[in-house]
Chains A and B, each alone.
Chain A
């Protein structure tokens, strides 16, 4: 993806480094680490901090599709890994704080150390479905279905594009970290996400088609400059979980809740686009998710998350963390978008050309 515009001193320092090669300027690299360490304590909420979220987003991107003009040799550079860990620490801490209130009754289960040992896969699925059911409800999806303007539908797609154009990739990192039933479950879900062998059915490909149908740029990261920090955070949380083996329980919980809160909203999203006259080329992405995620939620809840907890009971609290982190971040994103729309404003940072 193209390198985005800087959002503060940390991202500025990173992009200056990335213009060169690893080892070119050790002093600058050390200075960047110091700068980040000095700034972090002053940042009130790293989830809402554009500089931190953009820096993390670009550091993670080195492990995905890469950044235009940046050598792939940076990917495992120890200094950049150290910077990532420095930023991940307060990010994870803030996420845990934000996610905790969403645990509700499930918290009781994880609070007792012995309780997870007795949980079988059906019980884990039950707890996760219970969490998903108390999800605030389809506030945004109802608005998209009934009221959203064309401009708002475009904004909606732009927010989603940061993840959906590489849909499924972050969870794929977890495959080699799992085994047995949980691994088979994740592979089964991911195979479906990637089109079951048909490139044209890949969910990211379907989403790109939806974007083109509304005259949007479908290249990955084309709108990275346009989205607020919380949109970047919603993708960074998946990369954080996926790229840290110790958080494999959180990946399972994340995917399970993601799937469990998807079918109905996607039905409503599809209705919104149909309401404004868009056809199957645009709505195929949403229609596919109504059906696919009704399958995936069963597999993700019982076989992936449940299977994982059966074999590694000590991971149950992280399964809950992953699940509730999605809910917390999604609520913030919805609040941001709906808040802007209620005020008759754009939910994006910068005006986006109406068409490519």
Chain B
């Protein structure tokens, strides 16, 4: 706790949100297997982790309705550099 925010850098961060989506922050592209860009409206995105989103690959909050639970290695909510 009392973790300092990430220093400004070119690093990307993936935040595994407890019982929720995967938050991706930084410089990255989302592409289909053939390399086509997936439409994206914002810089930081939440990717569906529960499988129930109606707007995959993005999260639409449905994990809260289905009682999705995560078990995260280490401390919940820790930031893992990709």
Contact surface of A with B, Cβ cutoff 8 Å: 120-122, 125-126, 129, 132-133, 180-181, 184, 188, 191-192, 196, 201, 262-264, 267, 288, 290-295, 297-299, 302-303, 307, 310-311
Contact check, B61 vs A293: say whether CB atoms are below 8 A apart.
yes
Complex alpha-carbon distance, A291 and B61, angstroms: 8
| Contact across chains for B2 and A310 when beta carbons are under 8 A apart | yes
A191-B43 in contact given A122-B77, A290-B55 (Cβ < 8 Å): yes
B2 close to A129 (CB less than 8 A): no
Q: How far is the CB of A287 from chain B (nearest CB, A)?
A: 8
CA distance A242 to B4 in the complex (A): 25
The reply to whether B41 and A288 contact each other, CB–CB distance below 8 Å, is yes
Within 8 A of A (CB), among B1-16: 1-5, 15
User: Complex Cα distance A114/B81, Å?
Assistant: 34
Q: How far does the alpha carbon of A267 sit from the alpha carbon of B4 in the complex, in Å?
A: 35
Q: Whole-angstrom distance between the alpha carbons of A160 and B20 in the complex?
A: 28
Shortest Cβ distance from residue B21 to the other chain A in the assembled complex, whole angstroms? 7
When distances are taken between beta carbons in the complex, the residues of chain A under 8 Å from B76 are 122
CB <8 Å contact, B65 and A264: yes
Contacting residues, chain A, for B44 (C-beta < 8 A): 188, 192, 295, 299
Minimum CB–CB distance from A98 to chain B (whole Å) comes to 25
Chain B residue contacts of A302, Cβ below 8 A: 17, 77
Using Cβ atoms and an 8 Å threshold, which residues of chain A touch B1? 120-121, 310
Contact A122 B42 (CB under 8 A): no
Question: How many chain-B residues does the 8 Å CB contact rule pick out?
Answer: 29
Q: Tell me the complex Cα distance, A68–B53, Å.
A: 45
Most chain-B CB neighbours within 10 Å: which of A184, A192, A290, A298? A298
Question: B2, B21, B43, B58: which contacts A298 (Cβ < 8 A)?
Answer: B21
Q: Which residues of A have CB within 8 Å of B3?
A: 181
Contact between chains at B21 and A180 (CB < 8 Å): no
Which residues of B have CB within 8 Å of A264?
A: 60-62, 64-65
Q: Which residues of B contact A311 (CB under 8 A)?
A: 2
- Given known A121-B77, A264-B65, A290-B61, contact A298–B41 (CB-CB < 8 A): no
Closest CB in chain B relative to A128 CB, distance in Å: 12
Question: Are A294 and B58 within 8 A (Cβ)?
Answer: yes
In the complex, given contacts A293-B61, A302-B77, what are 8 additional A-B residue pairs having Cβ atoms less than 8 angstroms apart?
A: A129-B64, A180-B4, A291-B42, A291-B60, A295-B23, A298-B23, A302-B17, A307-B5
Smallest CB-CB separation from B17: which chain A residue? A298
Of A192, A267, A290, A310, most B-chain CB atoms within 10 Å? A290
B60 lies within 8 A of A196 (CB): no
**Contact digits for B56-70, partner A, Cβ 8 Å, 1 yes 0 no:** 001111101100000
For B15-42 the 0/1 string (1 means CB < 8 A from A) is 1011111010000000000000000011
B43 touches A297 (CB 8 A): no
